[in-house]
């Protein structure tokens, strides 16, 4: 009886599924190779060691299935108040003027403002090449000659230079970010944005009725260490001279507050805060606009910053619809303009800003602005600013 029972138990074990799975056979090695690893819920033991893909080689393709609504031409004609095409400073590559006009015609851009016209004969060249041959299509701004900052009569020299530039055809003054970050006197001291030697120039701009477009500071990340926590790590690695981190530079907020003191001291002058002023902090920009009614803003090269916070940006654009102007600061290209139009006019979700991923690895979202707001931003606000021109001062070159 005992031996029969043992044989029965052994037979049962051998015939069970578990026993069959472990029974050796000639085909076992092939079968095991074909069966994938069991699906699990823990990280692979060597996961960290495998994360060796270089950031510059990482180009993920979005799997989102969302509508894409291309906008080949702006709904209303456009005045681009922030451009450097064929300027005197050589910021962008020179482009045949006929090609510039073609880009504008293809996208419904009526007028482009060339901000960096410099002064004297360099300014005259821009006016002769771009302004005179194409009436109504280009506006050029002048700048200050910082090489004269230590001259005892610097203020009046710059007023005379400004008057000459306006007489030649300039219709605004542009200040680059080097004021506050790069311009130094002979002792090596940085020239503050609210330096009183500049007051006569701001006043003269108000007297002439020309706007002052001023670039102060830069993205907030440029004032932080270029390390693994910096969202613009790639951009700052590409352009290390754009980093303003360290005790040798003022803090971003210090620069902006100095500039705001200039706004307050010169209510008779129209200022344009380029790049929105501080697009990462729209609450701060709101307070600036509320406190300084003589200030406008534009969003050149800040589509990326604004487009990733669409709800807050849309609310801001609706509230300050009379204070915002259209600007690109991105050269001349049909697709560049169309990307901006898509951002402003549609409700499209999760698409590349122009130049992605240069400024940061994130996507942007359309603002779907109402037509009356679009028209103000596209051209009405800029036209109101330029209509304040009171005429060239006597004594300048005609």
Spatial separation of the C-alpha atoms in residues 393 and 374, rounded to whole Å: 35
Determine the pLDDT at residue 22.
47
Spatial separation of the C-alpha atoms in residues 107 and 74, rounded to whole Å: 6
Determine the pLDDT at residue 393.
59
DSSP for 69-88, please give it: ---SS-SS-EEEEEE-TT-S
245-288 pLDDT, tens digit per residue, is 999 999 999 999 999 999 999 999 999 999 999 999 999 999 99
Question: Domain 78-386 class?
Answer: alpha beta
Tokens coding 203 = 């006043």
pLDDT of 395 strictly over 50: no
Assign 25 a pLDDT band (cuts: 50, 70, 90).
low
Average pLDDT over residues 336-364: 97
Assign 37 a pLDDT band (cuts: 50, 70, 90).
confident
The four Cα atoms 195, 268, 158, 114 give a dihedral, to 10 degrees, of 110
Please state, for a pLDDT cut of 90, what percent of the chain lies above it.
87
pLDDT of 4 strictly over 90: no
176-235 pLDDT, tens digit per residue, is 999 999 999 999 999 999 999 999 999 999 999 999 999 999 999 999 999 999 999 999
Average pLDDT over residues 64-73: 97
DSSP state of 329: -
How many residues does this entry show for the chain?
398
Q: CA 82, 111, 337 angle in degrees (round to 5)?
A: 65
Determine the pLDDT at residue 327.
98
Sign, CA torsion 163/165/171/175: negative
Which pTM value belongs to this model?
A: 0.89
pLDDT of 16 strictly over 50: no
Determine the pLDDT at residue 28.
52
Assign 18 a pLDDT band (cuts: 50, 70, 90).
very low
pLDDT of 32 strictly over 80: no
Determine the pLDDT at residue 6.
47
117-157 pLDDT, tens digit per residue, is 999 999 999 999 999 999 999 999 999 999 999 999 999 99
- Asked which of 9-13, 103-107, 169-173 is least confident by mean pLDDT, the reply is 9-13
Spatial separation of the C-alpha atoms in residues 37 and 113, rounded to whole Å: 62
82-123 pLDDT, tens digit per residue, is 999 999 999 999 999 999 999 999 999 999 999 999 999 999
Peptide bond into 357 cis (omega under 30): yes
Can you give the residue ranges of every domain in the chain?
78-386
Instruction: Choose between 201 and 37: higher pLDDT.
Output: 201
293-340 pLDDT, tens digit per residue, is 999 999 999 999 999 999 999 999 999 999 999 999 999 999 999 999
Determine the pLDDT at residue 392.
74
158-168 pLDDT, tens digit per residue, is 999 999 999 99
Q: How far is CA 257 from CA 251, 260, 288, 315, in A?
A: 10, 5, 10, 24
Determine the pLDDT at residue 391.
82
């Amino acid at each position: 009886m005992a031996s029969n029972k043992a044989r029965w138990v052994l037979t049962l074990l051998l015939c069970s599924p578990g026993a069959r799975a472990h029974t050796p056979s000639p085909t076992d090695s092939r079968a095991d190779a074909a069966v994938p690893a069991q699906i699990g819920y823990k990280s692979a033991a060597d996961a960290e060691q495998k994360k060796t893909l270089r950031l510059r080689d990482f180009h993920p393709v979005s799997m989102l299935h969302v509508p894409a609504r291309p906008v080949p031409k702006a709904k209303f004609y456009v005045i681009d108040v922030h451009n450097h095409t064929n300027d005197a400073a050589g910021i962008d590559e020179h482009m045949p003027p006929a090609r510039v006009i073609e880009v504008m015609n293809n996208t419904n851009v009526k007028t482009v403002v060339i901000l960096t016209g410099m002064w004297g004969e360099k300014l005259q060249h821009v006016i002769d090449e771009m302004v005179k041959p194409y009436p109504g299509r280009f506006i050029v701004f002048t700048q200050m000659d910082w090489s004269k900052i230590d001259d005892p009569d610097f203020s009046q020299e710059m007023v005379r230079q400004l008057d000459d530039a306006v007489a030649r055809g300039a219709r605004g003054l542009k200040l680059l970010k080097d004021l506050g970050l790069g311009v130094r006197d002979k002792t090596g001291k940085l020239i503050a944005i609210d330096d009183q030697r500049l007051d006569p120039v701001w006043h003269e701009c108000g007297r002439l009725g020309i706007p002052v477009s001023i670039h102060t500071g830069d993205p907030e990340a440029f004032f932080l260490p270029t390390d693994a926590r910096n969202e613009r790590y790639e951009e700052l690695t590409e352009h290390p001279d754009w980093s303003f981190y360290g005790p040798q530079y003022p803090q971003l907020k210090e620069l902006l507050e100095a500039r705001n003191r200039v706004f307050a001291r010169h209510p008779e002058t129209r200022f344009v805060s380029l790049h929105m002023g501080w697009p990462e902090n729209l609450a701060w920009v709101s307070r600036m606009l509320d406190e300084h009614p003589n200030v406008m803003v534009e969003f050149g090269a800040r589509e990326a910053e604004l487009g990733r916070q669409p709800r807050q940006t849309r609310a801001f654009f609706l509230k300050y619809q009379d204070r915002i102007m259209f600007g690109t600061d991105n050269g001349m290209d049909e697709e560049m303009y169309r990307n901006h139009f898509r951002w402003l006019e549609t409700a499209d979700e999760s698409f590349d800003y122009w130049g992605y991923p240069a400024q940061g690895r994130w996507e942007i979202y359309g603002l779907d602005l109402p037509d009356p707001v679009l028209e103000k931003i596209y051209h009405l606000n800029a036209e109101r600013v330029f209509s304040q021109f009171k005429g060239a001062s006597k004594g300048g070159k005609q």
